[in-house]
Amino acid sequence: MSTLEIAIRGRRGSFELAVEFEAPLTGVTAIFGRSGSGKTTLLRALAGLERMRGRVVVGGRVWQDAGRFLPPEERLVGYVFQEAALLPHLSVRGNLAYARKRAKSQRVSPPQVVDWLGLHDLLDRMPSQLSGGERQRAALARALVRSPELLLMDEPLASLDLSARDAILGHLERLHDELAVPVLYVTHATDEVARLADRVAWIDQGRVRSVAAPEVLFAELEMGAALGDDAAAFVPARVLRHDDTYHLSELETAWGVLFVPRLTAVVGAPARIRIRARDVSIALGREHKTSILNVFAARVGELLPVSAAEVLVRLCCPAAPEQAVLARVTKKSADAMGLGDGLEVYACVKGVSVR
């Protein structure tokens, strides 16, 4: 399988970037981290827009190495900027034609992309006549028309309102099935990771802390601590059946059957559930008289204090030890319950969100 090999090192003012990782060249790799962690600089360096030392190999093709540095125009990337950066003197059609004319292969055809992103009515508009969401869709289309070996997206949704964001996320979810273009996706939003990413590279202070599947990475205590209130684990699931009497859907997970508000997804469809650490409480015994539907047996892993009053607890799935969720509880209850490594408990999940 072809891979993406990155080892980049450089300095911009007082900020130092030293990133090294390898990832399969397929699906969506999220580059996740807080703002100022070096995500954008990394992406720019990969595109050749920032000149940094190191090695970049994409599917066996050396983009840069000691003594070799391909300029951006010779790297087959599609780059989607945070603000669309369409050529302002050309219409949407003109922007697509600009990319098409310089593309090295026609693997992705403009009509296909225009159809997929619903750009028909916008083709003759100038960039200044487009809304933020429309502009970003056009920029995505333009990047795809280049038929890139790698699509680089720099927080493409950061400046959009919720509905525009949701619409584009919908398109991006189908990107892989439609076009099979590998994507590096820079973001600091966990919900975007949940919906899109096959794997996540966690960047912190210019360094890679970890590269893993989102299910694994977001169940780690350090990640939970770094995210604070946003700490949330992802659980892979499959739609089992819909219950129209109570307007619920049942999802099959390694933890057992999980109830969520009625989904539109068809039975058998995969889903990724996001469980916030704040929404998980811990019980020592199985409490039957409770309004909480989703209660699962779990085994306590490590604990990590995250504030003066609270600890983050890693709860492992007994049936699948590699799967875990996080719970955020007070130190007082942790001590009272005697929470510690290996203790058998029940995880009570008060709320979940499904991508």
Partner 1 sequence: MQPAAFASDGQAVLLTLRLAGVVTLALLGIGTPLALWLAFGRSRLRVVVEAIVALPLVLPPTVLGFYLLVLLGPRGPVGGCWEALGGERLVFSFTGLVIGSVVYSLPFVVQPLANGFRSIDRRVLEAAATLGARRFDRFLTVILPLSRNGLLTAVTLGFAHTVGEFGVVLMLGGNIPGRTQVLSIAVYDHVEAIEYGQAHVLSAGMLAFSFTVLLGVYLTTRRFDVVGP
User: Judged by CB under 8 A, does residue 79 bind partner 1?
Assistant: yes
Binding mask 20-59 for partner 1 (x = CB under 8 A): ---------------------------xxx----------
Q: How far apart are CA 217 and CA 200, in angstroms?
A: 7
Nearer to partner 1, 85 or 293 (CB): 85
- Give yes or no for residue 102 binding partner 1 (CB under 8 A): yes
Q: Which is nearer to partner 1, 113 or 260 (CB)?
A: 113
Considering only residues 45, 57, 77, 193, which one is a binding residue for partner 1 as defined by CB under 8 A?
77
Cα separation, 187 vs 80, whole angstroms: 12
Helix (H, G, I), strand (E, B) or coil at 188: coil
289 binds partner 1 (CB under 8 A): no
Compute how many residues bind partner 1; rule: CB under 8 A: 26
Please state the closest distance from residue 61 (CB atom) to partner 1, in A: 15
Q: How far apart are CA 101 and CA 14, in angstroms?
A: 40
Shortest reach from residue 156's CB to partner 1, in Å: 13
| Proportion of the chain in helix, strand, coil states, percent, rounded to 5 | 30, 35, 35
Q: Which of 17, 99, 231, 325 binds partner 1 (CB under 8 A)?
A: 99
Angle between helices 132-145 and 162-173 (to 10 degrees): 20
Residues 140-159 that bind partner 1 (CB under 8 A): 142-143, 146
CB of 139 to partner 1, least distance (A): 8
Residue 208: strand, helix, or coil: strand
Q: Please give the helix or strand (H or E) that residue 168 lies within, else none.
A: helix 162-173
- The span from the CA of 191 to the CA of 172, in Å, is 13
User: Can you read off the two tokens belonging to residue 192?
Assistant: 């975007």
- A 10 A CB-CB count for 302 gives 14
| Comparison of 32 and 81: residue with beta carbon closer to partner 1 | 81
Strand bridging mode 28-32 / 183-187: parallel
Residue 103 binding partner 1, by CB under 8 A = yes
Contact pick of 71, 228, 305, 321 for partner 1 (by CB under 8 A): 71
Alpha-carbon distance of 94 to 86, in angstroms, equals: 10
**Per CB under 8 A, which region of 95-103, 118-126, 199-207, 277-285 contacts partner 1?**
95-103
Which residues lie near partner 1 (CB under 8 A)? 47-49, 71-73, 75, 77-79, 81, 83, 85-89, 98-99, 102-104, 139, 142-143, 146
